[in-house]
Amino acid sequence: NAGVTQTPKFQVLKTGQSMTLQCAQDMNHNSMYWYRQDPGMGLRLIYYSASEGTTDKGEVPNGYNVSRLNKREFSLRLESAAPSQTSVYFCASSDGGPLFPTDTQYFGPGTRLTVL
């Protein structure tokens, strides 16, 4: 049981380049999330998808887009990368949607992104 997987593990981009971070979960969870982790700031929610076919903005959505491709996959796209987007990105999933806020979120191993 792989849980939540993310690709790539590491990526270096130049300013203005684009890329897509991939996330997949095999737990049949309804909700999926993208966070960024910066030193001293904990994790901040970028976007989330409460169920297949829906996406919503989180705390820091600017400069990002997401796609909930199907129930398993949730991708994060940087259209024009900026140095401020240098961070570690985590994908997470949970069983319930907005009606189940007690559900635990399970995290992937992260993608370390550097934008030069």
Partner 1 sequence: AQSVAQPEDQVNVAEGNPLTVKCTYSVSGNPYLFWYVQYPNRGLQFLLKYITGDNLVKGSYGFEAEFNKSQTSFHLKKPSALVSDSALYFCAVRARFKAAGNKLTFGGGTRVLVKP
* HSE-CB of 89 using CA atoms within 13 angstroms: 33
DSSP type of residue 79: S
Residues belonging to the chain: 116
53 is a site residue for partner 1 (CB under 8 A): no
Which tokens go with 51?
């169920």
Pick between residue 19 and residue 45 the one whose CB is nearest to partner 1. 45
As beta bridge partners, residue 112 has 10, 88
The window from 13-21, 61-69, 72-80, 96-104 that contacts partner 1 (CB under 8 A) reads 96-104
List 25, 85, 87, 94, residue binding partner 1 (CB under 8 A): 94
Q: List contacts with partner 1 (CB under 8 A).
A: 4, 31, 33, 40-45, 48, 50, 56, 58, 90, 92, 94, 96-110
